[in-house]
Amino acid sequence: MISDDKQGRKSKTRNILNKSKDESARWHIDLQPWASPTPSLTYEALRFLKYISTSQTSCENMNMNSLTGNSETTKKPWTICLDERFSLIHQIKSKQCRLYSLGLGSDDNQFEISMASSRCEVHRFDPSIKSAHIQEGQHLWYHRLSIDWRDPNPVIAAHRLRSNTKKLGTILNEFGHQKIDILKADMESAEWKILENLILEDIVEQIGQLVFEVHIHWPGFEVSGNDSTVVRYWYSLLKELELKDFRLFHTYKDLSKPQMFLKKEAFNASSSYILSWVNTRWK
């Protein structure tokens, strides 16, 4: 497993410790204004669905098969941008790219295998894996860890059962990694709170491209409020990404899933979308 240099690791740890002491550290995202003069699910839903369906930047090259010679297709379109103007293609060609894949028991690992075949360093985190760490080939590692939006507190008895659950920032520090070229997540409705944590702790700035499956048939784990409040929160999270210079370049609407929006057949929405962003500041 490749670690970043020790000096960088110390610097990163020091920065995180300093930030934890900073009284101005953020605890909540900034909510966007309501989509209408009075809160309305219809207006919030239409604004949100239009936002996730509209590309913010173009990408001409989104196919890994041309690089790996692999003709097998993934079960889901985990789309990354390989345009020369973004750094990922150069990282892949120089064999310096790193992918983190977050999952919950899915057997859809063709994307990870394809990236490992291109000599990208791939780490797949899944609590259903039988061993703590498994290395498959030269570039693919499986870890029996679940990514969460909080670290377990060992003082609380119930949290001890989640000893294999950690925040992404914690894992980056433990692995000695300062950056991730691609973060892929299929977290079955935990993605909203995980994304919020990445934004609040500025971990998202260490990521080059995000490929997230988002679920909108219910609010998601620990997302509370009435329907219009929930959708406003989702929208505000994505606007935070935009403020961090992430741009949406691909949207996949999964028509194989139930067509549900917050438990309602409404707005011609699918219950699941795969969204791909590129960090336009990524070097």
Show Cβ contacts of residue 132 under 8 Å, excluding neighbours closer than 6 positions: 143, 144
- The CB-based long-range contact list for 78-85 (8 Å cut-off, 24+ gap) reads 78/111, 78/184, 78/211, 78/274, 78/276, 79/211, 79/249, 79/250, 79/252, 79/274, 79/276, 80/182, 80/209, 80/211, 80/276, 81/209, 81/249, 81/250, 81/276, 81/278, 83/59
Looking at the DSSP bridge assignments, the partners of residue 212 are 185, 275
Strands 121-125 and 140-143, sheet pairing: parallel
Q: What is the pLDDT of residues 168-201, one digit of tens each?
A: 999 999 999 999 999 999 998 999 999 999 999 9
Q: Is this model's pTM higher than 0.85 or not?
A: yes
Decide if pLDDT at 162 tops 80: no
Q: CATH 3.40.50: does it fit domain 56-62+79-279? A: yes
The pLDDT, as a whole number, for residue 20 is: 44
* Triad 238, 241, 243: Cα angle to 5°: 115
Q: What is the pLDDT of residues 121-160, one digit of tens each?
A: 999 998 888 888 999 989 999 999 988 888 765 544 444 4
The pLDDT, as a whole number, for residue 172 is: 96
CA dist., res. 74 & res. 214, Å (int) = 18
More confident call, 75 vs 180: 180
Q: How confident is the model at residue 67 (pLDDT cuts 50, 70, 90)?
A: low
CA dist., res. 224 & res. 219, Å (int) = 7
The pLDDT, as a whole number, for residue 153 is: 59
How is the chain split into domains, by residue range?
56-62+79-279
More confident call, 240 vs 8: 240
Q: What is the pLDDT of residues 227-281, one digit of tens each?
A: 999 999 999 999 999 999 999 999 999 999 999 999 999 999 999 999 999 999 9
Task: Please state the three-class secondary structure of 123-136 as a single string.
Answer: EEECCCCCCCEEEE
